[in-house]
Amino acid sequence: MKDCEYQQISPGAAPPPASPGARRPGPAAPPGPGPGPPPSAAAPRWSSSGSGSGSLGRRPRRKWEVFPGRNRFYCGGRLMLAGHGGVFALTLLLILTTTVLFFVFDCPFLARHLTLAIPIIAAILFFFVMSCLLQTSFTDPGILPRATVCEAAALEKQIDNTGSSTYRPPPRTREVTINGQVVKLKYCFTCKMFRPPRTSHCSVCDNCVERFDHHCPWVGNCVGKRNYRFFYAFILSLSFLTAFIFACVVTHLTLRSQGSNFLSTLKETPASVLELVICFFSIWSILGLSGFHTYLVASNLTTNEDIKGSWSNKRGGEASVNPYSHKSVITNCCAVLCGPLPPSLIDRRGFVQSDTVLPSPVRSDEPACGAKPDASMEDTCQDFAISCTA
Ligand SMILES: [Zn+2]
Ligand SMILES: [Zn+2]
């Protein structure tokens, strides 16, 4: 199987990452002809304003407490969720309400008149759905840490060194070749780095997310590299659960109405009618979503790429193929759903090391933070491309 996972591009002078959990992924580098920031893996990727002199008598702060994105953290940073969790609460409410009503008002009758397997199957499906949903919602979707203050200062220095009195925006794209396909890397002005391939900045969460699929308010999180498999398992199992409950409730109502008026049976079982309505109106969208994501998994595409048409008739009708596809449905499915789960790059529980991010050296003539001139940038892009085609 080809390995299309990109490798870290070292801008040059920086030391290698200290730990896998804190490494700097992707071709992170400042724009323009100047030096690139180092990975500086030991340093946190965001600043802690005011904490530089706060070590005396102050509780050391963890990184989730100064996280710059719009996420909310729980359990001391162990769990994270997008900023707006209202729709996620509605998802939980709908699933819990429907399933509890089913167990209370339908399962006793069905177990008595048909088989005990019905509540057992429903329970297994329900626990699988809930575990997939919670893993999708509370897992880091693959957020990339932002550039440090030091790296941002190095960028400002490069802009100053252009000699222009007016602000000139740095070049916003780089190009790399992946499996023979030219892929553009866009610069993220919020995160101060070039986004690795398939990475996009979520406007809701305000983070760059690797292999960004979409932001899903129903699960209250971005769907990306680290939680896509859970999301896919969630919608697939939810399709089965919804169809199962719908079929069982119809069977229940049919058996109950034998020898009597069907309308009077509906009046006797309002809870079953409510389940029927919820399942009927939700099953179409859930089934459609499952089918669409099955197509995406089989093609090794993301929703983002599919909507943008990244690999279809690009550049005025010129044929373009998806460079990440393994040309085989089974291999694509294995790569998307069964590949190794990369570690989270935002060390949420780590402590802020403010002294390592202060931009004090940027006044010197030397490139800040150990960065070196940009002669290596093109090389690193090419290294990056080669690593993607391995
Ligand atoms: Zn970004
Ligand atoms: Zn998001």
384 CA distance to ligand 2 middle (Å): 26
pLDDT tens profile 236-285: 999 999 999 999 999 998 888 887 777 887 888 888 889 999 999 999 99
User: Do the domain assignments include residue 351?
Assistant: yes
103 CA distance to ligand 1 middle (Å): 45
* Active-site residue identified among 216, 248, 279, 369: 216
Q: What does pLDDT average to over the chain?
A: 74
Burial of 59 (0-12, 13-18, 19+ CB in 10 A): exposed
User: Do the domain assignments include residue 44?
Assistant: no
Measured from the alpha carbon of residue 82, the closest ligand is 2
| pTM metric for this prediction | 0.73
pLDDT of residue 353: 73
Our count of domains for the chain comes to: 1
User: Do the domain assignments include residue 158?
Assistant: yes
216 is catalytic: yes
User: Do the domain assignments include residue 154?
Assistant: yes
User: Do the domain assignments include residue 9?
Assistant: no
User: Do the domain assignments include residue 358?
Assistant: yes
User: Do the domain assignments include residue 39?
Assistant: no
Calpha distance 332→318 (Å, rounded): 24
Backbone CA torsion sign across 222, 228, 234, 235: positive
User: Do the domain assignments include residue 342?
Assistant: yes
Tell me the residue range of the domain where 106 lies.
Answer: 64-388
Is the pLDDT score of 288 beyond 90?
Answer: yes
Contact 388, 178 (CB under 8 A): yes
